[in-house]
Amino acid sequence: MTPFRRALLAALALLPCLSPAAPVGAVSGRVFHPARREYIASAEVRVEGADLLAVTEQDGSYRLPAVPAGSRTLVVTYTGLPPARATVVVPAGGVVSRDFELVPAGAAAGTVQRMDALVVRSEREGNAKAIMEQRRSMNLTNSLSSDFFGDVAEGSVGEFLKNVPGVDVDYVGPDARGPRLRGLDPQYVGVSVDGMRMASADGSQGTGGGARSFSFDQVSVNSVDRIEVNYTTSADQDADAPAGTINLKTKRAFERRGRRIAWQMHLMANGDHFTPARDYGPGDVRTHKFRPGGILEYADVLLGGRLGFVLNISESSQYVVQSRVDHTYNAAATAADPRPRVITGLTFTSNPRFTERFTPSLTLDLKAAPGLVLSLSAMYNHFDAYIDARVLTFTTTGRAAVAGDGLNNFSVINGGATLGLSTNHEHKFARTRTVTPRFELRRGPWLVDGGLHYSISSNQYVALPRVGPQTLPVANLTGLSLDLRRSSLRDVDWQVTQTGGAISRTPRTSSIPGSATICALPRGRSSRRT
């Protein structure tokens, strides 16, 4: 083939590229859910018959550029809602606006519906936003709405996350502390709010903790709209969390239309002290065990839709009963003592506590210019756990001092028992303050965002000797002889009778039904059931 023919064929191949392009325009608008009075994020807007797709932002807005001019059909899809269709005429070189309202099936305005069957759909509706974000995510992510599991006791994020597959939560007593992802310790999990890492001063507490571990004492779920659990780390996340990250997304006013005022009042009580009257504990004073709490949320959009704010204030208080009995066994049977197992120690722990949490949060969003949004988020969390621990420990000098079966009905003879007593009265105060100014600038398909993040956390354990001594004057009472009985191997209703020892001239019996502790004290001292 001659050079002339090669040049001619190349020119013919370039002719389609040199032909004038078809005229195009753009389509923009917002997607709204009238039943919830919220703008819908992560909804998919498609041009029917063309490979054009847009996903709505947090305020429900979308934009489809480069749409062929002429009459086009748009289709909006969202999990749990029927698709919405509309036909628009796209002007060449111009922009046409089209808003959508996604209405649940059979809920058309002004019509009366006949119910055929009652189907509970709260889980699907309430979690649809999180499901759409999960579909949109480029990472291995589990995204959940904060109302997915209903009301969460005490507003703890840990109590919410423990129900999520693949997430484990470490506990210290009744308090959910550090999260575990993929089996790794909490110190390898990052926790953030709106993509910004939060400070935590409680990393050394709990199993698997470390200097970098996050504690759920530092945040409340009531100020959170949805939670993302990322099992992989992307480029926009810190690289010091190899187990994954947990991102808490706060509530935004631009996601709703109009004013919203919501409030909730509640009482929390424990079945062991289910009475409105005052009763002993924690400490040596009578207190109410029905603990009040509440949530107030106020959201509005002002200045013609340019300024939005969300104010959330939550407070909770609960009474927690912690009581347990630990048994120490000796399983070294001998020819002289063939019993396979003998109890050589009993520890009775009573640790009731009050747990209180107060969390106000404020989020401001300002549309300063077309495509430019300035935001400010502020959050304060105060956590107070009043701890009143009392421990009663019986130990023996060994299996030789234990007469009888050694399990249900036995005696500690020849003064071979020791009684140890200890107390601990203190408050655990945890405070976290977070302030985050941010900006988002959108130009066509491009998004530039940034911000500053200030987060400080403090944690204190404060002893309060006014409610009782930190340690008893007599730490251990030795040389005791005891009779111990309980109903069966599965029961903890121990009956302890002192039969000998320096502190008693006559036998006395103490009933210890698991949650109670009654101990014999020297003459001149009083005993109190706690």
Question: Nearest Cα to 529, choosing from 504, 511, 508?
Answer: 511
Predicted pLDDT at 148: 56
| Partner residues linked to 225 by β-bridges | none
C-alpha to C-alpha distance for 399 and 332, rounded to whole angstroms: 9
CATH of domain 21-101: 2.60.40.1120
pLDDT tens, the chain, 530 aa long = 666 666 656 655 555 554 456 788 999 999 998 877 788 888 899 999 888 889 888 788 898 988 999 999 999 998 878 899 999 999 988 899 999 998 876 655 445 555 555 554 444 445 555 555 555 555 556 667 666 555 665 677 777 777 777 788 887 777 777 788 877 878 888 888 888 888 877 655 444 455 567 787 777 777 788 888 887 777 666 777 888 888 888 888 888 777 889 888 888 888 878 888 888 888 778 888 899 988 899 999 888 888 999 999 989 888 888 888 999 999 998 998 999 999 999 999 888 888 898 999 999 999 998 889 999 999 999 989 888 888 889 999 888 999 999 999 999 998 899 988 888 888 888 899 999 999 999 887 788 988 999 988 888 888 765 554 455 544 578 889 999 999 998 888 899 998 888 654 444 455 444 333 333 333 333 333 32
* 255, 60 contact by CB (below 8 A): yes
Question: Which CATH entry fits the domain spanning 137-250: 1.10.3210.10, 2.40.50.140, 2.170.130.10, 3.30.70.100?
Answer: 2.170.130.10
Residue 168: is it exposed, middle or buried by C-beta count within 10 angstroms (0-12/13-18/19+)? Answer: middle
Identify any residues that bridge with 379 across adjacent strands, giving them in sequence order: 361, 434
- Predicted pLDDT of residue 436: 92
Nearest to 330 by CA among 315, 346, 316: 346
The amino acid sitting at 459 is N
Q: Which residues pair with 71 in a beta bridge?
A: 89
Of the candidates 326, 387, 393, 383, the one whose C-alpha atom is nearest the C-alpha of residue 352 is: 387
Question: How far apart are the C-alpha atoms of 181 and 450, rounded to whole Å?
Answer: 28
The answer to whether 362 and 377 have CB atoms below 8 angstroms apart is: yes
Task: State how far the Cα of 400 lies from the Cα of 406, in Å rounded to an integer.
Answer: 10
Annotate 157-209 with DSSP letters as a single string: HHHHHTTSTTEEEEEETTEEEEEEETT--GGGEEEEETTEEPP-S-TTSSTT-
Quote the radius of gyration of the chain (alpha carbons, Å).
33
In contact, 254 and 39? CB cutoff 8 Å = yes
Torsion of CA 266, 149, 258, 312, to 10 degrees: 50
**Domain ranges within the chain, ordered by starting residue:** 21-101, 137-250, 255-513
Three-class DSSP category at 114: coil
Q: Rounded to whole angstroms, how far apart are CA atoms 455 and 444?
A: 33
pLDDT for the residue 528: 31
C-alpha span between 186 and 212 (Å, rounded): 8
**What is the pLDDT at residue 518?**
35
Token duo for residue 306: 């340019």
Tell me how far CA of residue 146 lies from CA of 10, 73, 295, in angstroms. 61, 35, 14
| Residue 223 CB partners (closer than 8 Å, separation 6+) | 250, 251, 312, 314, 359, 361, 379
Non-local CB neighbours of 475 within 8 Å, separated by 6+ positions? 420, 421, 422
Tell me the C-alpha distance between 103 and 276, whole Å. 45
The three-state secondary structure class of 366 is strand
Instruction: Please report the pLDDT score of residue 118 as a whole number.
Output: 53
